[in-house]
Amino acid sequence: MTQDSISRRRLLGTAGAAGAAGLIAGGAGAVAADRVSRDTDSTALTSIGTTSVAFAGEARAHGTPQAGITTANQTHGHLIAFDLAPGTDRKATAALLRRWTEAAREMSDGRAPDQDSSGIALDAGPSSLTVTMGFGRTFFDKVGLKDKLPQALSPLPDFSSDALDRKRSDGDLWLQLGADDGLVAFHALRTLQRLAGDAARTRWYMAGFNRTPGATTEPRTTRNLMGQIDGTNNPKPEEEDFDTRIFVPKGGDDSSPEWMAGGSYAVVRRIRMLLDSWDNLSLAQQERVIGRRKSDGAPLSGGTETTPVDLNKFAADGSIAIRGDAHVRVAAPESNQGAAMLRRPFSYHDGFSDDGTPDAGLLFIAWQADPMKGFVPVQRKLDRGDGLSRFLRHEASGLFAVPAAAGDGEYVGQRLLEG
């Protein structure tokens, strides 16, 4: 951990009169002014607030996916699922999706939606806000679209580590919001929740977080609440098979109708970490469970974080470097016929249970072209053989079809509802 620290008071001291007021009343604002950051090309001043992510998404091989999938993960995340209200027909649903799309588009661009008197997000830019919209299995029958239900939305199988709360699982509609500022994220969440009006009501809600930009001095894969570097082996967007693994091909395929072309499936799992048990292990014990060194994420077979895991390496004493039940071994694509998914999680912490144990863990969000070739085979394997599973409990689950981005003038899901 770096020792290069300066006094926050001294830093603020240079801000003069404006900083003095801000020191107490609006610390964050005052600090912001002192910490305007630079683009790496050193030509343009930018800041966390003014960074935007295009709501329309960025084109890839199979189409243009929604923002919030290949977007760098943000500091604040909100997941919220809705059920359509009784009597909400396809037309009312389309109107809701249009309201959400228009508001999300405006807010992603740093503009306040029409008739927004809340002002919560004023002063800040969009802070990399993304809004991602998905459809659950129960959606289709309710709006008379059963013939368009993707095979890929078949219910996930049961796993032995499941202790699912059905009230916090599934849902007709799902929104994933992310932003690097808490007020911007709250404002977007509240705006979209209000826009649901009488058409849909909140089924469940979860909040998560990731590292603040600037909290680490070097680029670094983020850590989870077990302290483990998490995500090293994620598929990379520049890899040749990335699009095939993560996005539905043009025209659809066996498990997806054409309206899902360019889209992806989100598996959402609230995975509680049994941190009291975990923290009672020594560092060496924790590292053997994972198969990686905690300090830098290097595999126990040697090298650095990005060195490929050598599952056949033996230590000097003749013992296998990566244990048979180590998480990295069981989760490795080599152990799962190449099955892979793009994990883009948030950590969560919702206080403490009555016995004092933290209600904390991972809002696991995994993206794939077909859950039967991504999450399901990997989780089946983990469920049987992963030493880490003793320290985890899956408490909620959802599976959502997330179609491609809406083009200009379109709303998200228009090809489903009107195609």
Nearer to a copy of itself, 218 or 254 (CB): 218
Structure token digits, residue 198: 């009488």
- Name 146's Cβ contacts closer than 8 Å, sequence gap at least 6: 140
CB 80 within 8 A of CB 267: no
Nearer to a copy of itself, 119 or 155 (CB): 119
Structure token digits, residue 317: 């004493």
Nearer to a copy of itself, 213 or 385 (CB): 213
Nearer to a copy of itself, 92 or 145 (CB): 92
In whole angstroms, how close is the CB of 109 to a copy of itself at the nearest point?
7
CB 170 within 8 A of CB 137: yes
By the 10 Å C-beta count (0-12 exposed, 13-18 middle, 19+ buried), 77 is classed as buried
**Crossing angle of helices 90-108/182-195, nearest 10°?**
160
Residue from 214, 302, 324, 338 that binds a copy of itself (CB under 8 A)?
214
In whole angstroms, how close is the CB of 88 to a copy of itself at the nearest point?
15
Residue type, 360: A
Q: What H or E segment, with its residue span, contains residue 133?
A: strand 130-136
Strand partners, 394: 162, 271
236 touches a copy of itself (CB under 8 A) = yes
In whole angstroms, how close is the CB of 130 to a copy of itself at the nearest point?
9
Residue from 38, 91, 250, 390 that binds a copy of itself (CB under 8 A)?
38
Residue from 142, 159, 161, 231 that binds a copy of itself (CB under 8 A)?
231
Cα separation, 381 vs 401, in Å, equals 24
56 touches a copy of itself (CB under 8 A) = no
Annotated catalytic residues are: 230
Cα separation, 372 vs 117, in Å, equals 45
Residue from 62, 344, 394, 415 that binds a copy of itself (CB under 8 A)?
344
Pick the stretch among 48-56, 136-144, 307-315, 391-399 that binds a copy of itself (CB under 8 A): 48-56
Total residues at the site for a copy of itself (CB under 8 A)?
132
47 touches a copy of itself (CB under 8 A) = yes
In whole angstroms, how close is the CB of 223 to a copy of itself at the nearest point?
6
**Crossing angle of helices 16-24/27-34, nearest 10°?**
140
CB 206 within 8 A of CB 363: yes
Structure token digits, residue 296: 């830098």
240 touches a copy of itself (CB under 8 A) = no
Pick the stretch among 213-221, 310-318, 382-390, 392-400 that binds a copy of itself (CB under 8 A): 213-221
CB 204 within 8 A of CB 168: yes
Cα separation, 386 vs 193, in Å, equals 38
Cα separation, 65 vs 367, in Å, equals 11
How does strand 392-402 pair with strand 264-273?
A: antiparallel
9 touches a copy of itself (CB under 8 A) = yes
37 touches a copy of itself (CB under 8 A) = yes
Please report, as residue ranges, which positions from 251 to 310 form the binding site for a copy of itself (by CB under 8 A). Answer: 275, 279, 281-283, 286, 294-295, 306
By the 10 Å C-beta count (0-12 exposed, 13-18 middle, 19+ buried), 277 is classed as exposed
Residue 252, CA distances (Å) to 67, 242, 401 in order: 20, 17, 13
Alpha-helical runs (H) found in 156-206: 182-195
21 touches a copy of itself (CB under 8 A) = yes
312 touches a copy of itself (CB under 8 A) = no
In whole angstroms, how close is the CB of 147 to a copy of itself at the nearest point?
32
216 touches a copy of itself (CB under 8 A) = yes
Binding mask 354-383 for a copy of itself (x = CB under 8 A): --x-x-x-----------------------
In whole angstroms, how close is the CB of 93 to a copy of itself at the nearest point?
18
CB 234 within 8 A of CB 243: no
Please report, as residue ranges, which positions from 155 to 194 form the binding site for a copy of itself (by CB under 8 A). Answer: 180-184, 186, 190, 193-194
Residue from 138, 154, 161, 221 that binds a copy of itself (CB under 8 A)?
221
Binding mask 67-96 for a copy of itself (x = CB under 8 A): ---xxxxxxx--------------------
Nearer to a copy of itself, 150 or 345 (CB): 345
125 touches a copy of itself (CB under 8 A) = yes
